[in-house]
Structure 1
């Protein structure tokens, strides 16, 4: 009975979030008018890009789980992926996705340690993939964007710096556990002196535990170099599909496509600049970043419609689909017969 109440609460929460955004942020009338103006076939292609993004994510997560002495069925991996998509959208800074994924993976028989390590490996690979993608974009398009967009260099320097620092810190923790502990413990003590962290001793214990767990997971990565390489390539394809969504929206307006790479580069910059904004769905920051970059492509009278469509694909759609997969998230533990993994 308790699990049914929790599952019902999740559905109601997601409906409230959706309706709240639709009425107070985007407007139901605006959403309806969008579909009357745009080419529905190109919009369907945009939806397919999001589906391919999720499929890539599921394959990457499945490969990550396969690094350990455990198994998951592909249908369970895809469900885990969509649970993560849903909770990433409805929680600040996407903080709810991984804990809910780990909970579900444990519920279907994957050990908590294995689940956490698999999700950590996937996070490392994603950060490295996004950083590599961003480096390529900045090499070829920084000067062009900086010349055209006021304040671009500050936006991108912030986003690129944060993503790069995260990726480097993950690698430092993976390769040098002792040094990483000293650095993180030192930062934690500094935050405690500034009264930003309470119960210092407990926090330091948590730091040691998390660093040890992460380091152990990273050691497993080094034993599966080819698998990790395949995961990285899949991540690059996954990001490519995500960055294609604005291109599909652009084409749905009947506008001539002059440079596919430039638009994909702009999508990469939007993701770089907004992925660490501490609000559900990076609300506000995501729209602002999209506006700054894509005003180079969309006519001014169509830009607000493009932003709305982009949010429909990248925010509303994951919530709607993820809600379906999350409807029975809580309940009794389910032990299923494992399906053989495909070797990557």
Structure 2
């Protein structure tokens, strides 16, 4: 899992970005007016939004459980829920969500799930997760619906950048999953390069470990290549999962009595914010997500844009962060504890 030094650096970076974002959003704003808007909102919509966030995180648990069972790995559904909360917590606090999967693999190893299998399953999860954004982004930039593109026009550069980065990332991971020989050769080249520059001494030892690990990796990758319907089912679940989080913005606007635009447009606009920020090296897209929200939704929502952004981000990101942090503590206390007790 994350080293102490890296954890401290990530914490400092997270707090710094949060402080800068907080200052950028609230500097010069009428805080009394902001509190009045939030106090008068319909909280019942927020409760539904929190449920959407919980189901959003829980959807990944279902996907992990489903894929593990298709490859005959015994696993508890409850532990899958904990893996998901752990993953989202570390994704929320690390740049470009890089800390999520290593943390999940750490806890899966405690459950005696082989690292190559855990890695491949989580890679498929990541591919489908980002594939939804790629599909959404391509549909919008190709079809260019007038009712949406007019509001996206000021931020199209960010959308194109995010789309290009996601396409590159998904394409590379698809090659690794469906052409595992490439993954093995890449790892071997890295070991040999590190050996040449004297950063790795026992290169043969690591090459043997790679050979053994990649055998398991190739077996599971072969299964997914043959049973493509498994990946398609995961993609369908992921589409629902992503839409649940985007729907939080629509619920937020409804809580302020907004009636000026349909659900589909709001959900797609929020989705395009995710397309733009998903691959940027900022924890949870903090800072840039708020900026893009204000830019896109100010012409739509007028005076309620700032309170809507505060509540939407609070529900969609900070609620997710807090819930995931609590369940990560539970995961740390529970996973692997039974095996230790037996020993």
TM range (shorter): 0.7 to 0.9
Q: Which residue of 1 aligns with 2:310?
A: 308
Q: Sort the Cα spacing of 1:174 and 1:107 in 2 relative to 1 into closer, same or farther, 3 A.
A: closer
Q: Sort the Cα spacing of 1:255 and 1:285 in 2 relative to 1 into closer, same or farther, 3 A.
A: same
Q: Which residue of 1 aligns with 2:287?
A: 284
Q: Which residue of 1 aligns with 2:95?
A: 92
1:197-212 to 2 correspondences below 5 Å: none
Of the candidates 333, 336, 341, which is equivalent to residue 333 of structure 1? Answer: 336
Q: Which residue of 2 aligns with 1:195?
A: none
Deviations 1:30-82, CA, capped at 9 Å, x for gaps: 89666413110111121121122122121112122223231211111111111
Answer whether contact 2:83 2:107 (CA < 8 A) is retained. yes
Q: Give the Cα separation in 2 of the matches to 1:313 and 1:67.
A: 34
1:157-306 to 2 correspondences below 5 Å: 157-177=160-180, 217-299=220-302, 301-306=303-308
Consecutive unaligned residues of structure 2, counting only runs of 5 or more, are: none
Q: Give the Cα separation in 2 of the matches to 1:163 and 1:84.
A: 19
Q: Give the Cα separation in 2 of the matches to 1:256 and 1:127.
A: 31
Q: Sort the Cα spacing of 1:214 and 1:246 in 2 relative to 1 into closer, same or farther, 3 A.
A: farther
1:13-32 to 2 correspondences below 5 Å: none
Q: Sort the Cα spacing of 1:149 and 1:239 in 2 relative to 1 into closer, same or farther, 3 A.
A: closer
Consecutive unaligned residues of structure 1, counting only runs of 5 or more, are: 1-5, 193-197, 337-344
How much does 1:113 deviate?
2.4
Answer whether contact 1:251 1:257 (CA < 8 A) is retained. no
How much does 1:271 deviate?
0.4
Q: Sort the Cα spacing of 1:329 and 1:177 in 2 relative to 1 into closer, same or farther, 3 A.
A: closer
Number of aligned positions between the proteins: 315
Q: Give the Cα separation in 2 of the matches to 1:291 and 1:245.
A: 16
Answer whether contact 2:123 2:173 (CA < 8 A) is retained. no
For structure 1, which segment, 106-115 or 227-236, has the greater mean C-alpha deviation from structure 2 after superposition?
106-115
Which of the two has greater helix per residue? 2
Asked if 1:79 is matched to 2:77, the reply is: no
For structure 1, which segment, 55-64 or 131-140, has the greater mean C-alpha deviation from structure 2 after superposition?
131-140
How much does 1:281 deviate?
1.5
How much does 1:201 deviate?
7.3
Q: Give the Cα separation in 2 of the matches to 1:278 and 1:52.
A: 26
Q: Sort the Cα spacing of 1:219 and 1:232 in 2 relative to 1 into closer, same or farther, 3 A.
A: same
